[in-house]
């Protein structure tokens, strides 16, 4: 239950950042959004591919690969201060969410199908 509440709090925090920074996100421009989305997509694909035959490990590695880049962005933002730093982090969150949410939903669907197949057997 703690992880569920932590996820909800994290989702609400990210949503607040994205909504309040939406103007700055759009100022950052479509090429930046596409680059951040592409980075997230490649991280998901790499983690998924390297995750091995176990579906749960495959999904967790993919999500771990995709979410570690925001930590790197925040470390860089701590060293490079300026008005555009927050906008770049918000843009990354936005683009990452656009790519990650469909992947996570797809993996939940795959997991539920596997569970149903195991119950039938």
- Band of the pLDDT at 75, cuts 50, 70, 90? low
Predicted pLDDT at 36: 86
Taking CA 114 as the corner, what is the angle to CA 46 and CA 53, rounded to the nearest 5 degrees?
Answer: 35
Long-range contacts of 80-84 (CB under 8 A, 24+ apart): 84/28
The burial class, CB within 10 Å (0-12 / 13-18 / 19+), for 105 is exposed
Residue 76: is its pLDDT beyond 80? Answer: no
| 8 Å CB contact between 50 and 72 | no
Closest CA to 95 of 22, 4, 3: 22
Record the tokens describing residue 72, joined without a space: 């790197």
Closest CA to 96 of 11, 24, 20: 11
- Rounded mean pLDDT, 38-58: 91
- Rounded mean pLDDT, 86-90: 74
- Band of the pLDDT at 73, cuts 50, 70, 90? low
| Of residues 119 and 102, more confidently modeled | 102
């Amino acid at each position: 239950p703690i992880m569920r509440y932590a996820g909800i709090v994290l989702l609400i925090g990210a949503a607040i950042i994205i909504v309040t920074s939406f103007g700055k996100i759009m100022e950052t421009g479509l090429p930046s959004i596409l680059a951040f989305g592409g980075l997230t997509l490649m991280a998901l694909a790499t983690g998924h591919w390297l995750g091995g035959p176990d579906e749960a490990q495959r999904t967790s590695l993919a999500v771990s690969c995709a979410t570690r880049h925001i930590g790197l962005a925040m470390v860089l933002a701590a060293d490079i201060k300026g008005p555009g730093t927050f906008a770049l982090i918000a843009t990354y969150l936005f683009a990452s969410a656009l790519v990650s949410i469909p992947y996570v939903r797809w993996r939940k669907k795959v997991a539920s199908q596997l569970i149903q197949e195991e119950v039938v057997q």
